[in-house]
Amino acid sequence: MDWGYLFTSFDGRINRGKFWAGYVVLWVATVVVVGLLSALLGDSASFWVLYTVAVAILIVAGLAVQVKRWHDRGRSGWWVLIALIPLIGPIWAIIETGFLPGTSGPNEYGADPLA
């Protein structure tokens, strides 16, 4: 698996397995980074600056993973915004990206990742 592509590119498609692998890695990275920063810096101004930078990087990486998964479903990456709709949005997004299969064969976003 090309982890750099997974977390930095907003082009192409990924299957459900790579989607879940990416999100597990991001959650573990979040716990580790926040834990390390908290242990090393406590509740200082440096902690909050580094925390903000780390969270911004992790959010961009998460968006890259999710956009590629929406592409696999045959939808624009802008569908990530559906998660901003209270209650129903996050549920819809997780069902679409995490549980439903992608379009079979190539689509406008690239070749079938399972082919």
pLDDT digits (tens, 9 = 90+) for 7-64: 999 999 999 999 999 999 999 999 999 999 999 998 899 999 999 999 999 999 999 9
pLDDT in tens, 56-100: 999 999 999 999 999 999 999 999 999 999 999 999 999 999 999
Query: With contact defined as beta carbons under 8 Å apart, do 93 and 82 qualify?
Result: yes
User: Residue 1 — very low, low, confident or very high, per pLDDT cuts 50/70/90?
Assistant: confident
Predicted TM-score of the model (pTM):
0.92
The region, left, alpha or beta by phi > 0 then psi within -120 to 50, assigned to residue 74 is left
